[in-house]
Amino acid sequence: MSDRGPGRGPHRPPRPFRNWVQRRQGSGGSQGAVGAEAWPVLTVLCAVLALWYAAALLMNLDQARSLAGEGAGTADLLGATLALDRPLLPAPHQIAGEMFDSIFGHPVSSARSLVFHAGVTAGAAACGFVLALVLGIGLAVGIVHLRVLDRSLMPWIVASQTVPVLAIAPMVVVVLGTIGITGLAPKALIAGWLSFFPITAGMVSGLRAPEPVQRYLLATYSATGAQVFALLRWPASMAFLFPALKVAAALSLVGAIVAELPTGAQAGLGARLLAGSYYGQTLQIWAALFMAALLAVLATGAVDLAQALLRRRRGGRL
């Protein structure tokens, strides 16, 4: 039991963690190691960019040819292919330019600002994520402790995820709209619906992770159910919770975007995507997609940060 609470006294982190810290701090030629890790990422990135430009050239060539005319030279044609207003597939630099204009070219409160739309979607996703966190952990605790919930509820939780969110979203929006609940709540509910499952599944596995011998040990100390939960099950579940949270964070964002599609929302990345598809603004669509990806990276990064803080508090292990 005395080993349970890292941070409750003098504690020496385990050797792998110490080695990792030493590598990160630069001892033992870590600069070369970090550089070596970056090369594969850069290589893949360059390959993706090259493929993307090639695909953009091929897909936009007909449109550029019709605009440039028959007599245009090869260089003019290639230039026109990568500078169309409404290309079939925008080139990466066009998307970057559109994002730059949408982010820095307008005030944040303007409906033309991508930051404004990202903020609306991020708010709904965050509410859905919190909802999923509470629901997911609550269900997992119930399932682990009550056999009746385990037997009766778990199969239906799994089945719930086979229903496409695109089918549920309009129903939720209409039903809640009928009773006067509009705006953030339906979007948060749909985002929560999509993202609670990984948290429940991860937490059920995590709360069941302790070995029987560990539970028997606590039983010999006459530990109550609450003590077994607080001292054994909950700490053991953290290693399962954070990977589940990363998945849930990304899913809540997907849920929030999908929820914006049937509502006819005026704001949000989903609304931006929809408006772009109505008016054939492919640049706007791709910029919104990249902003959504950026939000997902930020969300999973926030979960990573929380995990690192908890790990540090617990002496380098989770």
Partner 1 sequence: MSPGVVLLASLIAGGLGLARLSRGEDRLSRLATPLLFGALVLWVWQVVCVGFAVPGVLLPPP
Which residues are near partner 1 by CB under 8 A? Answer: 147-148, 150-156, 175, 178-179
User: Nearest approach, Cβ of 180 to partner 1 (angstroms)?
Assistant: 11
> What is each CA distance from 189 to 128, 175, 260, 271, in whole angstroms?
6, 12, 12, 18
- In whole angstroms, give the CA distance from residue 168 to residue 156: 16
Nearer to partner 1, 149 or 217 (CB): 149
**177: which residues sit within 8 A by CB, 6+ positions away?**
186
Residue closer to partner 1 by CB (options 190, 248) is 190
Contact 112, 179 (CB under 8 A): no
User: CB burial class (10 A; 0-12, 13-18, 19+) of residue 222?
Assistant: exposed
Least distance to partner 1, CB of residue 193, Å: 16
Shortest distance, CB of residue 176 to partner 1, whole angstroms?
10
Cβ 156 to partner 1 shortest distance, Å: 6
With contact defined as beta carbons under 8 Å apart, do 249 and 299 qualify?
yes
Q: How far is the CB of 179 from partner 1 (least distance, A)?
A: 7
* C-beta closer to partner 1: residue 47 or 146: 146
Q: Is 133 in contact with 122 (CB distance < 8 Å)?
A: no
* Minimum CB distance to partner 1 smaller for 172 or for 256: 172
Residue 22 or 152: which CB sits closer to partner 1? Answer: 152
Q: Is 263 exposed, middle or buried (0-12, 13-18, 19+ CB in 10 A)?
A: buried
* Count of other CB atoms within 10 angstroms of residue 260: 28
CB of 265 to partner 1, least distance (A): 22
The residue with tokens 């199969």 is 155
As separate numbers, helices (DSSP H) first and strands (DSSP E) second, the chain gives 13, 0
CA 18/CA 11 separation, integer angstroms? 12
Q: How far is the CB of 148 from partner 1 (least distance, A)?
A: 4
Minimum gap (Å) between residue 171 Cβ and partner 1 = 9
Closest Cα partner for 229 from 252, 206, 198?
A: 206
**Nearest CB to partner 1, comparing residues 151 and 313:** 151
Please say which residue, 74 or 178, places its beta carbon nearer to partner 1.
Answer: 178
* Closest CB to partner 1 among residues 140, 143: 143
Task: Count Cβ neighbours within 10 Å for each residue of 74-93 and write b for 16 or more, e otherwise.
Answer: eeebeebbbebeebebbbee
Task: Return the number of other C-beta atoms located less than 10 Å from residue 57's C-beta.
Answer: 16
Please count the CA atoms within 13 angstroms of the CA of 215 that sit on its side-chain side. 12
Nearer CB in complex with partner 1: 158/294: 158
